[in-house]
Amino acid sequence: MAQNGRPVQHSRSRSGLLVAKEVLDDKLSDSGKAIYTEFERLRRMSVGGTVVDARSDRNARLNRYSNVLPYDTNRVRLTNTAKDYINASLLESPPGEQPKWRYIATQGPKESTTGDFWQMVQERRCGVIIMLTRVTESGGFTKCARYFPEGLNQRELYGGWHVQCTSVREVDSDVTRRDLLVTPPAGTGAPLQVAHFHYHAWPDHGVPSTTQPLRDLVGAVKGLEQPQAGPAVVHCSAGIGRTGTYCAVDVALQRLRCGDYGAAVSAAELKPLVAELRRQRAGMVQTPEQYAFCYQAIRDEVDLELRGQ
């Protein structure tokens, strides 16, 4: 059935985008003061999850930062091993929410945990990894171990997992994609093909100068995801700032693109989404600048969607 020559669904989708645009314009006006106030309210919200396992004597050395820890309730547990700990959180949309979302948010691997990282990827059958940090940043400080071979056809061993780079290409000037073949130790599972996206131009604690590379990255990853595959692995250094920003923008853009009026309108209200992410991993979207960047990315995508209609 149509209204004024347009399908009802299309009309409702455009109406949702127009409402979202109005809300976003209001939030981004006045130098974004409303956004900063909203972020401060988020920051003061108590979460209350326990991190007993992460703080145990056995596991504490596996954390890159002593104050960025996964909750006991949703930490990713390794199997087929004497130890099951890795600093990683399984994030999932609440029951009934559409569109659904799932991620593994994790810290940048340490030299001593690269094998654990690949074990997690292989056990969870994660076909996509999004890396949002350089190996070294901010005056030469190490932010993440080198856990994958950079060059075409290079093959490296990480704690028993063989990883081979089968292709390398530039998605754009800020993002490199590598296709990796991950082969676990003999008898522990089947080889896995992984698409690895490295966004190497995102400053630590800061934001990129434009939202376009991030929005393009979100689109490229969505084009690869398969219903039966495991969740995408997202990491920066700590696994909360840039990682949280990516997840928030990804979910919001899914809502904009799904064609549902209510979902499009909800994309313009980040506070409930970021609060949910923080209920599952503390500190997601770490700074007010990152929070404002999320809103700008959504606003830019709304403009693009409206022009396309």
pLDDT digits (tens, 9 = 90+) for 210-238: 999 999 999 999 988 777 789 999 999 99
Model confidence at 3: pLDDT above 50: no
Q: Which H/E stretch holds residue 54?
A: helix 52-55
pLDDT for 20 = 95
Reported as a single tens digit per residue, the pLDDT across 87-134 is 999 999 999 999 999 999 999 999 999 999 999 999 999 999 999 999
Q: Which two tokens stand for residue 240?
A: 């909360």
* Domain assignment present for 29: no
CATH at residue 104? 3.90.190.10
What pLDDT is attached to residue 11? 63
* Residue 284 pLDDT exceeds 50: yes
What is the predicted pLDDT for the residue at 2? Answer: 40
pLDDT of residue 5: 38
**Main-chain dihedrals φ then ψ at residue 202, nearest 5 degrees:** -100, 115
Domains held by the chain: number = 1
Q: What is the pLDDT of residue 223?
A: 85
pLDDT at 193: 96
Give CA separation, 246 vs 32, 235, 302, in Å: 20, 9, 17
Any domain includes 123: yes
Looking at the domain assignment, is residue 156 inside a domain? yes
Q: Where are the alpha helices (DSSP H) in 172-269?
A: 212-222, 241-257, 261-266
Residue 30 lies in a domain: no
If you average pLDDT over residues 247-257, what whole number do you get?
96
Percent pLDDT > 70 in the chain is 95
Whether 2 is covered by a domain: the verdict is no
pLDDT in tens, 39-66: 999 999 888 799 999 999 999 999 999 9
pLDDT value at residue 4: 37
Segment 285-295, tens digit of pLDDT: 999 999 999 99
- The boundaries of the domain holding residue 231 are 50-255
With H, G, I as helix, E, B as strand and everything else as coil, classify residue 285. Answer: coil
Residue 272 lies in a domain: no
Kindly state whether residue 87 falls inside one of the protein's structural domains.
Answer: yes
- Residue 28 belongs to some domain of the structure: no
Tell me the catalytic residues.
236
